[in-house]
Structure 1
Amino acid sequence: MVIESLWFLIVGALMILMAIGRKFVERLPMTGAMVYLVVGFLLGPACAGLLTIDLQCDVALLRTLTEAGLIVSLFAIGMYLRIDLSNPLWRLTLRLAGPAMLITIGALFVAAYWGLGLAAGPALLLASVLAPTDPVLANELRVEEAGDDEPLRFALSSEGGLNDGAASPMVYIALALCGVHTLGSSNPWTFALAIAWGLASAAIIGWALGTGIVVLVTKLRTHYDHALGLEGFLALGLVALAYGATLIVDGYAFIAVFIAGVALRRQEMKATGEKPPNEVLESVERGQREEAAKDPELAHAYIAENMMGFSVEMERFVELGLMVIVGSVVSAHWQELLHWSVIWPVLFLFFVARPLGSSLSLVGSSMDRHQRALSGWLGLRGVSAFYYLLFSLEKAGSATVANLLPVIVAAIVLSVFLHGSSATILLDRYLSKR
């Protein structure tokens, strides 16, 4: 009972302190993720011993929690991207989520295979887990509001939304090399077809559900005064439907959730036009919200902004919970993270592999040299890397993943502190010169 009471006190105090001190934290070269990581470390085995995470025994539960948090974040990012699909900015997304990630994986694979002496399967698995950027911790890098078309922010935001799913095929290839059977892995041709199906099914399901749900709900509201309120239920319901439906058909469900958010925002754009949704709704008083939800001219903007607002709020809880868990894992394994053989691959990722992939993929793009340099540095690793670590541990077992765990955890910790402390400063300087 005492431990239970203590946990309520700790969680309550942490939430209130972050709510009160958020502006103070934002003025410093630090982020909420840093605070949560340190709290998790202090609560873990190395200090208080109140939070002990057993990755072996709790892997399925931890993977499910991380998965659930990640898809909420992917949906929120999709809804932030209020840009027409014909806009050239989306080409930056494809460059970073495709060629940039593949080059990063290739460079990391070489480093892991030749530098760490890993077999081909584990080397590719390590590279594939660490290559995608993180959507949850990248709050400082994200577009500031729906419709923000600043190129660097848009590219980093959309990359984080897309490349978590785009990394899945490489993770499956790596697991197949480690002896883990995956869909179509027994034959190169069937595996290629499985990848094509995974991408296509995710796009179709995500777009169909994102479009269909908003069309259905707005029609019920504007024509029949039904389905009013509970935007949070709608948001989580759409996320769960898109994710579950895509998993059932063996598609890449992370991509489906992201696309569902983009599709929902696309419907709002078609209904609202060029005017930003926050301007459309700025004249709506608190007591008139139900009327706004039923107004054909306001309904799409109302549902999109409320669903996005709920998703972003949920994302903050995800960040707190998961980074405290990661901090506890660090607390249990901190001595393993101090070896040079663990640290140098992470530094290679940050200072060589990621900048190389980003720079080469953006050659000839609309980004200038300064923007390309920033995109090469500002590639956070966090919840997505932790998810793929847990996924690999669950599928391949500790015998395969044990040697990779310290490197992956070290990458998360160093990214939280190095990227987190520099992101705000670099972005402020960049934006002040625009």
Structure 2
Amino acid sequence: MTGAGLLIALVAWLPLALKRLPLSLPIVCIGIGAAVFLLPQVKLRPLPYLYPEITERFAEFVVIIALMGAGLKIDRPFGWHRWSITWRLLAITMPLGILAITGLGMAALGLPLAVALLLAASLAPTDPVLASDVQVGPPKTGDEDEVRFGLTSEAGLNDGAAFPFVHLAILLAIALPAGKPWLTEWLTYRVLWEIGGGIIGGWLVGRAFGWLTFHIPAETKLARTGDGLIALAATFVSYGVTEIFHVYGFLAVFVTALTFRSSHRDHEFQDEMHAITEQIERLAMMVLLILFGGALVSGLLTPISWMDGAVALVILLIVRPLTGWIGLLGWSGDQGEKLTLSFFGIRGVGSIYYLAYGINHMPVGDAAHLWAIVGLIVLFSILLHGLTVTPIMRSLDERRGVDPDAKGVAPPGLQGPAR
């Protein structure tokens, strides 16, 4: 209980303490985890391949909470032209990244096609959990420049967009050795049905919760409760219902959040819902990263070779920046914005979930080695992006003429109406 209390205190206090420092909350969490699990009294070894089911489910929970929070805080209405930067990152950058990482896995690491594709699909999506420092601010704060919007919307949608490639890896691992057909099932079921169903299911749940919360013609409308836990209810209902129908729940949750937000965009209850999801997300993230720090000192990276380290650096320093730059060719942003969008391809909890899901559903010859590679890339990403995010984003704000120390307060005209 003492440890839990201290952890909750850190959840509330650390973001404020780290606001000006070139240091991120995830780095601190990993350091705490490493220190705790180095104590001789602590016997647990939180290695993900020793607890595959727990790893998958816990990472899954953290991601869906983060997706709801990301969707609720986006002020920009959904639209093809308004979201053009998102489509570029989804349709060009992510597939190119999957192709490049698959090739690296086969050529440099000697992985079979299916395993290399699983590695690529796990590392392709940017993370909605660890990217909070480069995402848009809370609802109605006006803290939504093109860079923050692009990274937030990309992280919200590419989790669902990467899932077909995880399933493709699973299908190839099972179908190729048996000589069974796989293309038709993948295109019709894993792509068309699961993506289409996720979008429709998420929209329906969002519409239902939006009506019950803001528009039901009665004194019992949910907004009158003032209880932000409604957002958690919408998250669970959206994810649970869509998974029952075997469609992509990650995609559904983000679409539910966007639809829920659009049902009454400026209502102050949006702030309360976002606040509760952010608090739960931050607490769950800290627990997961403390366990990740424990895994690092328990031998997670033992199988790593120099080639694995080189590939990890290539993925972070070359593949994502280069594919991001290609995806943004022709976009009207300035060079600084393009560089920032291309650089901040943060890998984290989403990669942990996808790898756990894939390993739990397909044969992988050396799961410990695959976990070591992903663990190293996640560690590098947390350190690289965590140490650079504060100075880069502050510099970006100053170039736009925005005082980074005055951010987070809604300008006049953006405050929500009174209840």
Structure 1 residue 45: deviation in Å?
A: 5.6
1:189 is aligned to 2:222 = no
8 Å contact 2:114–2:172 — kept in the other structure? yes
Match of 2:19 in 1: 26
8 Å contact 2:23–2:386 — kept in the other structure? yes
Structure 1 residue 400: deviation in Å?
A: 5.0
1:356 is aligned to 2:322 = yes
What letter is aligned with 1:187? W
Match of 2:148 in 1: 153
Structure 1 residue 60: deviation in Å?
A: 1.2
- Equivalent residue runs for 1:313-392 within 5 Å: 313-336=279-302, 339-392=305-358
8 Å contact 1:43–1:49 — kept in the other structure? yes
Structure 1 residue 120: deviation in Å?
A: 0.8
2:231 to 235, 247, 263: 235
Match of 2:8 in 1: 15
- Secondary structure at the aligned position of 2:30 is classed as helix
Partners of 1:43 and 1:264 in 2: CA distance: 40
8 Å contact 2:33–2:289 — kept in the other structure? yes
The structure that is helix-richer by fraction is 1
Aligned length: 393
Structure 1 residue 397: deviation in Å?
A: 4.9
Aligned-pair Cα RMSD in Å = 2.1
TM-score normalised by L of structure 1:
0.85
1:421 to 367, 387, 392: 387
- Secondary structure at the aligned position of 1:179 is classed as helix
Partners of 2:53 and 2:171 in 1: CA distance: 20
Structure 1 residue 116: deviation in Å?
A: 1.0
What letter is aligned with 1:108? I
Match of 1:69 in 2: 62
8 Å contact 2:175–2:182 — kept in the other structure? no
Structure 1 residue 419: deviation in Å?
A: 0.6
Partners of 1:81 and 1:21 in 2: CA distance: 24
8 Å contact 1:180–1:396 — kept in the other structure? no
Structure 1 residue 68: deviation in Å?
A: 1.1
**Alpha-carbon distance change, 48 to 34 in structure 1, aligned in 2, over 3 angstroms:** farther
Partners of 1:175 and 1:110 in 2: CA distance: 17
Deviation track 1:143-172 (CA, whole Å, cap 9, x = no partner) reads 123354410110001111111111000111
Match of 2:118 in 1: 125
**Alpha-carbon distance change, 250 to 18 in structure 1, aligned in 2, over 3 angstroms:** closer
**Alpha-carbon distance change, 211 to 130 in structure 1, aligned in 2, over 3 angstroms:** same
1:137 to 130, 137, 150: 130
Structure 1 residue 401: deviation in Å?
A: 2.9
4+ long deviations beyond 6 Å:
none
Structure 1 residue 187: deviation in Å?
A: 3.2
Structure 1 residue 414: deviation in Å?
A: 0.8
Partners of 1:180 and 1:137 in 2: CA distance: 35
Partners of 2:11 and 2:100 in 1: CA distance: 38
1:178 to 173, 176, 195: 173
The answer to which of 396-405 and 138-147 deviates more is 396-405
What letter is aligned with 2:398? S
Partners of 2:379 and 2:42 in 1: CA distance: 20
Structure 1 residue 186: deviation in Å?
A: 4.0
- Secondary structure at the aligned position of 2:134 is classed as coil
Structure 1 residue 331: deviation in Å?
A: 1.7
- Secondary structure at the aligned position of 2:350 is classed as helix
1:208 is aligned to 2:204 = yes
1:94 to 71, 74, 87: 87
Partners of 2:66 and 2:374 in 1: CA distance: 21
**Alpha-carbon distance change, 114 to 149 in structure 1, aligned in 2, over 3 angstroms:** same
**Alpha-carbon distance change, 405 to 96 in structure 1, aligned in 2, over 3 angstroms:** same
Structure 1 residue 225: deviation in Å?
A: 3.6
Structure 1 residue 333: deviation in Å?
A: 2.1
1:263 is aligned to 2:263 = no
Partners of 1:14 and 1:224 in 2: CA distance: 39
Partners of 1:226 and 1:370 in 2: CA distance: 45
Structure 1 residue 50: deviation in Å?
A: 4.7
2:240 to 230, 241, 244: 244
- Secondary structure at the aligned position of 2:394 is classed as helix
What letter is aligned with 2:72? M
Structure 1 residue 86: deviation in Å?
A: 2.9
Match of 1:307 in 2: 273
Match of 1:285 in 2: none
Match of 1:217 in 2: 213
Partners of 1:366 and 1:395 in 2: CA distance: 42
What letter is aligned with 1:190? E
Deviation track 1:233-276 (CA, whole Å, cap 9, x = no partner) reads 3212111111111112221110000010000111113xxxxxxx
What letter is aligned with 2:215? K
Gaps of 5+ in 1: 1-7, 270-276, 278-300
What letter is aligned with 2:365? A
Structure 1 residue 57: deviation in Å?
A: 4.4
Gaps of 5+ in 2: 401-419
Structure 1 residue 21: deviation in Å?
A: 4.3
